Amino acid sequence: MNYAVLSDVHGNIEALTAVLEDVERSSVMKIVFLGDVVGYGADPAECLRLIEGASDISVVGNHDLAIADGSGLDDLNEDAALAARWTATLVSDYDRKKMMKLPLEHVEADSGIHFVHGSPDRPERFNYILSKWDAEKGFAGCGSRVVFVGHSHIPAAFVELEYRRTFTGEVRRVKELDASKIQLETGYRYIINVGSVGQPRDGDPRATYGIYDSGNQTFYLKRVPYDVEKAASKIREAGLPEALAQRLRSGR
């Protein structure tokens, strides 16, 4: 089965529309959303409607919860918190309830593929996976063979090459991979970050998502151009911090 795995739209309807149009041209059977549909961008309600209609599987992100019920709002930086409060004025009670009902994680019953916003190790904490040491904790916190995450807005991939128990504890050997294209191998476990649709932070401003073929055991990133200037202008017109508009241009 082919999965399109999307994360971190953050109210960017231009990026989301471009990605969904790209998905339509692919042989995708399921669309998975890894959370943070809102926050930062100027079109939260429109993105909520589009994700609700398009996604087959969705999990919740930390910005979603901050906007839905205020939880974790104090953990956001100043610009993010300001954008979250602004977004909360545009989100309906229906949307709040929908976001609060979303699970923290989803595991496919037949294949065991694991979808979560942050680290699978205590997903309610929304920890980042930025290094192989973070990945080791993630592998230790779940038994899934393939885990897809978002949250950092930076594509990344990690493979657990070895796991064994010793008298002194557990030993894991984890290696970071090039996330652009991966051939998954039998006997190894993987954590893959699909990057961000609506606010990339790896220096490439194009919208990013991933395609996973569970039959052929392949994953590859897709980068989709979109109207960055339009999305940035909307942020500015909404009175949101200029830094949020600049991030779209720089991909940082």
Range of weakest confidence among 16-25, 119-128, 170-179: 170-179
Q: What would the mean pLDDT of 88-93 be, rounded to a whole number?
A: 96
What's residue 164's pLDDT? 67
Choice between 167 and 139, residue whose per-residue pLDDT is larger = 139
Q: What would the mean pLDDT of 58-85 be, rounded to a whole number?
A: 96
Give percent above pLDDT 90 in the chain: 94
Average pLDDT, the chain: 96
- DSSP letter, residue 239: T
Domain count, the chain: 1
What's residue 228's pLDDT? 99
State the Cα–Cα distance between residues 133 and 131, nearest whole angstrom: 5
Q: What is the pTM of this model?
A: 0.96
Nearest to 30 by CA among 5, 61, 50, 53: 5
State the Cα–Cα distance between residues 158 and 147, nearest whole angstrom: 10
Q: What would the mean pLDDT of 222-235 be, rounded to a whole number?
A: 99
What's residue 5's pLDDT? 99
State the Cα–Cα distance between residues 139 and 133, nearest whole angstrom: 10
Domain CATH for 71: 3.60.21.10
Q: What would the mean pLDDT of 46-70 be, rounded to a whole number?
A: 98
Q: What would the mean pLDDT of 224-252 be, rounded to a whole number?
A: 98
- DSSP letter, residue 111: T
Mode of pairing for the β-strands spanning 30-33 and 57-58: parallel
Element (DSSP H or E) covering residue 223: strand 218-224
What's residue 89's pLDDT? 96
Nearest to 23 by CA among 202, 197, 146: 197
168 pLDDT tier (thresholds 50, 70, 90) = low
| DSSP string of 159-190, one letter each residue | EEEEEEEETTEEEEEEEEE-TTEEE--TT-EE
Torsion of CA 221, 51, 40, 206, to 10 degrees: 30
**Token reading at 156:** 């990344």
What's residue 94's pLDDT? 95
Q: What would the mean pLDDT of 118-133 be, rounded to a whole number?
A: 97
173 pLDDT tier (thresholds 50, 70, 90) = confident
Phi, psi of 171 (to 5 degrees): -120, 125
What does each C-alpha distance from 107 to 21, 23, 98, 115, 190 come to in angstroms?
26, 22, 19, 6, 14
Phi, psi of 176 (to 5 degrees): -85, 140
Q: What would the mean pLDDT of 7-11 be, rounded to a whole number?
A: 99
Tell me the chain's radius of gyration from C-alpha atoms.
Answer: 17
Q: What is the domain range of residue 100?
A: 2-250
Indicate whether 170 pLDDT > 80. Answer: no
Q: Is 211 in contact with 26 (CB distance < 8 Å)? A: yes
- Residue 13: strand, helix, or coil: helix
pLDDT digits (tens, 9 = 90+) for 28-48: 999 999 999 999 999 999 999
